[in-house]
Amino acid sequence: MIKLILALFVVASLQAKVYDGVAVVVEDKAITLLDIKKEMQTEHIDVKKATDILIRKKLESIEIKKRNISVSSSEVYDDIKKMAQRNNMSVSDFYDAVREANGLTSEQLKVKIKQKLLSQKLYSAIAMSSMSEPSEEEIKDYFELHKNDFKHPASFAVVIYDAKQKDLLQEKVDNPMFYSPQIASNEQVLPYNRISPELASLLSKTAVGHFTPVIPNGKGGFMSFYIKSVESAKDITLESMKSQVINAIMAEKREAILSDYFARLRDNADINIIRMPEA
């Protein structure tokens, strides 16, 4: 009898410890206090927003399982290969670039890519049947209301610095007067429409007179772009931006459908909020 009581006490203690670490239970899926804290730190958001995002992810995971949606390893690799090609890198160099930029191993990246593709398939299954192409009038009105959103620089005048050693190139970035014969440089003008979206985003976020972060160059070394000047975009027209406008409209429609769908799903789900982490 004493042994039984002790055994029950141990089990109860273990359950209490597990329970103490759980913040929210969505159906039978747990969200821990640590999960919420990590989301807050990674995305720089408050506890409510972080919790809402994680609940949405759990609901998505449940829906993916219910709908028997799957993603093969070849689909994951193909997506990674396409991203590498857009950045003029081999897959191996792309893995290195992601590791340098985000601290993710190749296996961790594959997990994230698989989750992204699963979500995309789920979103398509939910939204596409309810979406219609925008009318010409809708396209025109949207463009006039959001014209500034479609503006971007015409080109970037840059100096590209290359080196085999990352630390050596970082020294140049930290101290522009630093010189080393092992650092090569060349000046180029990079048209916005002829570079990858990732590079365009990186250059757009870097102020004139500053260096970009040091990134792999796709050849086993590293590089950084010094922004000399940015040429402003010329006036844009609806015809030149029509495909982008349509994509933006469809993205908004899809998000509205998905938000409504998951809001109703959340209302009907068994969600038990146990406690929140301290702010």
pLDDT for the residue 20? 54
Q: Rounded mean pLDDT of the chain? A: 86
Whether 191 maps to a domain, the answer reads yes
Question: What is the model's pTM?
Answer: 0.64
Residue 273's Cβ-side half-sphere holds a number of Cα atoms within 13 Å equal to 11
Whether 23 maps to a domain, the answer reads no
Domain of residue 185, residue span = 152-231
Whether 182 maps to a domain, the answer reads yes
Same domain for 105 and 163? no
**CA angle (64, 252, 206) in 5-degree steps:** 100
Whether 58 maps to a domain, the answer reads no
Retrieve residue 199's tokens: 């590079």
Whether 121 maps to a domain, the answer reads yes
Report pLDDT digits (tens) over 112-143: 999 999 999 999 898 876 788 899 999 999 99
Whether 273 maps to a domain, the answer reads no
What's the rounded Cα separation, in Å, for the pair 217 and 87? 9
Whether 266 maps to a domain, the answer reads no
Report pLDDT digits (tens) over 197-237: 888 889 988 999 999 999 888 777 889 999 999 988 777 78
Query: What share of the chain has pLDDT > 70, as a percent?
Result: 92
Alpha-carbon radius of gyration of the chain:
25
What's the rounded Cα separation, in Å, for the pair 195 and 213? 17
Domain count, the chain: 2
Whether 258 maps to a domain, the answer reads no
